[in-house]
Amino acid sequence: MSRRGGGRVPAVVRRLLAPFVDRTVAERVVISLAAILLSVAVGFVIVLVSGRIATCTTAAWTMPVVGLGFCYDPVQVYVVLFNGALGYPFAVGDPGLLDPAWTPFNISLGLTLSETTLLIFTGLSVAVAFRAGLFNIGTQGQLVVGALATALTVLALAPLLPGGAGGGVVLVGVGTLAGAVGGGFWGAIPGALKAYADANEVITTIMLNFVAANVAYVLVLEVFRAEGSSVVATRYVPEYAQFVPWLFPSSSDFALLALLVAAGFIAGLYYLVEHTTFGYDLRTGGTQAAAAEYGGVNAKRTTVRAMTVSGALGGVGGSVWVLMSEGRWLESVPALGFDGITVSILAGNSPLGVLPAAFLFGLLKGGALEIGFQTDVPTELVGVLRGLIILFVAMPEFFRMAGRYAGLGSRGPGPEPDDVGGADTDGGEPDA
């Protein structure tokens, strides 16, 4: 298993390194921030260059000194992106800066936090698998299955239960559980295939994404389609069985309660991964498969369990998508599962890191809408930024080199425990 490989780093070195683990965490945070800044800088250049190519009547921005005119104003783009995603708390140009009329409970921030909430679940889903040395690209499919399971369960149970708050609580609870079971089942398949048939999980999860999307589509189209609906969608679940949008306007599709639940999941998962036997098995299986096996960890069972937990988290993400955002299952499921991969990577696969990472990508999503409203710059810019962030996060060595070059602390090229899930050792093939 070259992906998980045996230890290149001797145990003694690891033990010596242990006290410095905090340094690697700090280093990772620095690298993530540097990656974001570098992407912003590259995005700046892209906006400038494309603004030079695009045609417009008046220049939106003129380069100082040189006097060249550009169609897009890169400074404005970023101001709109981050300010707009929060609902414009900063009055640009005003001496007071903070706009007194601003309230946190606005639509834009609601949309941003709604996206953040959903990305927390999918980010956690990917992170758990990553920690076990498994690359779960299938969170998208697990989310689709979980969402459908939630919608159908709630729709089926609603007539049997009393309406109102009491019935609503039960329906939301059971619906979310159904999502977890559906997603967990869909995640357990590639887990079992990996454990017992040695089928590469990257391939099987990609395939299962397509299968989930197609099968769910056909099921809803043929069996569960709402009458008179112009799109392929189920009926709406009852209003009382949806997350209630406290404080925020209901058009923002955001419920504070869901974000709190998501935060609870982060805490729970952090505990599970870092402080339980299962978490220990998971982590050792991810970094040192052979050693873990030798130490009595049942690697196959851990693989299946990790993928089941990962899938269940994706499924809960689907539940929240149905019960908070849409109110029904809809054919055009947003690519939350794929975005979860980027969230997890930026978070260094740490459950705690998922919160800021999900918020950043939530900001980008909310900001993209504002860019569309307020500027001429195509909103696809945000997609480019996302890709750049991931590219730069993937190359820590670049920042270490840059740091050494700039003389900023000599972070030696010592063996860094690299559990970003990828191949990190050149260990042999124990199973060959």
Partner 1 sequence: MGVSRMRNPLAGVPMPILDDLIEDEYVRSLAVGIAGMVGLLAAVGLAFPASVAGDLAGIVFSTSTAASTARLAAPIVLAGLGGIFAEKSGVINIGLEGLLIISAFASVYVASVVGIGNAVLGVPAIWIGFLAGIAASTVLSAVFGVVCIEFKADQIIAGLAVWLIALGLAPFMSTVFFGGVNTPNLGARVSWRYSAVMVVVATLASWWALNRTAFGKHLRAAGENPKALDTVGVSVSRVRYAGVMVSGVLSGVGGSALALSIGQFVGSGETMVQGKGFIAIVAYLFGNYNPLGTLGAGVLFAGLDATQIRLQQLGYAVPDTLVQTIPYVVVIVVLALVGRTRIPAAAGDHYETEE
Q: Which of 44, 78, 105, 217 binds partner 1 (CB under 8 A)?
A: 217
Return the range that interacts with partner 1 (CB under 8 A); candidates 24-32, 99-107, 177-185, 191-199. 191-199
Distances (CA, A) of 56 to 61, 71, 192, 368, 378: 11, 6, 57, 21, 14
Where in 48-67 is the site for partner 1 (CB under 8 A)? Answer: 50, 53-54
* 41 is a contact residue toward partner 1 (CB under 8 A): no
CA separation for the pair 168, 240 (Å, rounded): 5
* 420 is a contact residue toward partner 1 (CB under 8 A): yes
Return the range that interacts with partner 1 (CB under 8 A); candidates 158-166, 167-175, 212-220, 290-298. 212-220
* 202 is a contact residue toward partner 1 (CB under 8 A): yes
Distances (CA, A) of 112 to 119, 133, 199: 11, 31, 38
Cβ-based nearer residue to partner 1, 168 or 337? 337
Residue 52 CB, nearest distance to partner 1 (Å)? 10
Residue 338 CB, nearest distance to partner 1 (Å)? 8
Cβ-based nearer residue to partner 1, 60 or 323? 60
Cβ-based nearer residue to partner 1, 161 or 215? 215
* Stated length of the chain: 432
* 223 is a contact residue toward partner 1 (CB under 8 A): no
* 414 is a contact residue toward partner 1 (CB under 8 A): no
- Amino acid at residue number 52: R
Cβ-based nearer residue to partner 1, 1 or 86? 1
Cβ-based nearer residue to partner 1, 149 or 216? 216
* 40 is a contact residue toward partner 1 (CB under 8 A): no
CB burial string 393-431: b at 16+ within 10 A, e below: beebeebbeebeeeeeeebeeeebeebbbeebbebeeee
CA separation for the pair 95, 60 (Å, rounded): 23
Q: Which of 9, 206, 244, 256 binds partner 1 (CB under 8 A)?
A: 206
What x/- string results for residues 315 through 354 when contact with partner 1 is judged by CB under 8 A?
Answer: --------------------------xx--x---------
* 161 is a contact residue toward partner 1 (CB under 8 A): no
Q: Which of 86, 208, 258, 371 binds partner 1 (CB under 8 A)?
A: 208
Residue 418 CB, nearest distance to partner 1 (Å)? 8
Q: How many residues line the site for partner 1 (CB under 8 A)? A: 58
Where in 387-406 is the site for partner 1 (CB under 8 A)? Answer: 387-388, 390-391, 393-395, 397-398, 401
Residue 122 CB, nearest distance to partner 1 (Å)? 15
* 384 is a contact residue toward partner 1 (CB under 8 A): yes
Cβ-based nearer residue to partner 1, 20 or 210? 210
Residue 304 CB, nearest distance to partner 1 (Å)? 14
Q: Which of 222, 406, 410, 412 binds partner 1 (CB under 8 A)?
A: 222
The tokens describing 334, both together, are 């947003």
In which residue are the tokens 């380069």 written? 63
Q: Which of 59, 107, 211, 257 binds partner 1 (CB under 8 A)?
A: 211
For partner 1, the binding residues (CB under 8 A) are 2-3, 46, 50, 53-54, 135, 193, 197-200, 202-204, 206-208, 210-211, 214-215, 217-218, 221-222, 341-342, 345, 378, 380-388, 390-391, 393-395, 397-398, 401, 418, 420-426, 428-429, 432
